[in-house]
Amino acid sequence: MSDEKLLTLSSSPHIRDGSSVTSVMHTVVLALSPGAATGVYLFGLPALATIILAIASSVALEAWMQWVMGRKITIFDGSAILTGLLLAMNLPSSSPWWITVTGSAVAIIVGKHLYGGLGQNIFNPALVARVFLLISWPVQMTSFPAPSALLAKGVDAVSTATPLTNIKMELMSHKANIDITQLPQPSTFDLLLGVHGGSLGEVPIMALLIGGFYLLYKRIITWHIPISFIGAALAFSAIMWFVDPAKYANPVFHIMTGGLVLGAFFMATDYVTSPVTNKGMLIFGAGCGFLTIVIRLFGGYPEGVSFAILLMNLATPLIDKLVTPSRFGEAKANG
């Protein structure tokens, strides 16, 4: 008996599928990397500096915050890296360092830890930070350098408006005959590659889609949120475009501009702040898509993805309360 080894006792199940929070976070970071890399390619070293600073400050602030609050330091679980990277993707490449660091502070401290840390926050931390920065420093947050001369054929790195801002300015110009179709806008091909003004990580649609499909393939996310988000935006903008194409841009343009693809695949799909059921996710995504277009077409801001997702984050507890899975054996007695 003396040489009998101690056996482990625990509740079933005795096997696990090998997934972990860290592997989920790292997979999302990996999926964002084509978009981030394209952003750096388009906007150069300032974009790279913004990404590095956002990640480093997020991780440092998470460690500090956990230390202050007497919690376990979990900076290697990948979630702070992801928050930092997502924040950077939502910033202009030209953001001054203090904007980036303030953003990280708002995301990590206010957006995450004041709610109780990982899993407890109501709002997507990176979007809380982005909206905070946008409202506080609108000039810095809406000055977008044009993509590098290499790609934009002989244009210097000057400030440029986003395609959506172009439209909003035209609509607000009080001209006699507003016609947004006459505006000089990037070609569909340039929109796909991301060769136009915008946040450093939202413009490279193609690269973001590659990452998004990778997340679907790895089953980190399901199709429900991205498809309902894009589908609802497509449907609602198509209706409005049909009503008046001179005032409302075509649906494909809406999908390919602003932060819609980034939002649909990477921000709205944040586990913590989106519903847990498939049906709930469909409602959530559709709400995001619809609100995005409402804000873009009828709101004061040219872009509405961040606000739309935050508003739907707010609706998530309600959706989860009302939309529950169909329970096995629920009122189906047929004997």
Binding site for other proteins (CB under 8 A): 4-5, 7-17, 19-21, 23-24, 74, 77, 117-120, 222, 271-278, 281, 324-335
Give the residue with the Cβ less far from other proteins, 188 or 278: 278
| Closest to 103 measured CA to CA, from 86, 126, 85 | 126
CB of 23 to other proteins, least distance (A): 7
Q: How far is the CB of 225 from other proteins (least distance, A)?
A: 11
Judged by CB, which is closer to other proteins: 96, or 119? 119
Closer residue to other proteins in complex, CB, 24/31: 24
Cα–Cα distance for residue pair 192/44, rounded to 1 Å:
18
CB of 219 to other proteins, least distance (A): 9
DSSP assignment letter at 157: S
Minimum separation from the CB atom of position 51 to other proteins (A) = 24
Question: Taking Cα atoms as reference points, which of 275, 259, 309, 298 lies closest to residue 35?
Answer: 259
Shortest Å distance, C-beta 92 to other proteins: 30
Cis peptide before 13 (omega within 30 of 0): yes
Q: How far is the CB of 25 from other proteins (least distance, A)?
A: 9
Question: What are the φ and ψ backbone dihedral angles of 77, each rounded to 5 degrees?
Answer: -80, 0
Q: Return the number of the residue (182 or 278) whose C-beta is nearest other proteins.
A: 278
- Of 15 and 158, which has the nearer Cβ to other proteins? 15
User: Buried b / exposed e across 97-119, counting CB within 10 Å, b at 16+?
Assistant: eebbbbbbbbbbbbbbbeeebbe
Instruction: Tell me whether residue 13 or residue 154 sits nearer to other proteins (CB atom).
Output: 13
Can you tell me the distance from the alpha carbon of 95 to that of 116, in angstroms, rounded to the nearest whole number? 29
Q: Classify 145 as helix, strand or coil.
A: strand
The span from the CA of 331 to the CA of 329, in Å, is 6
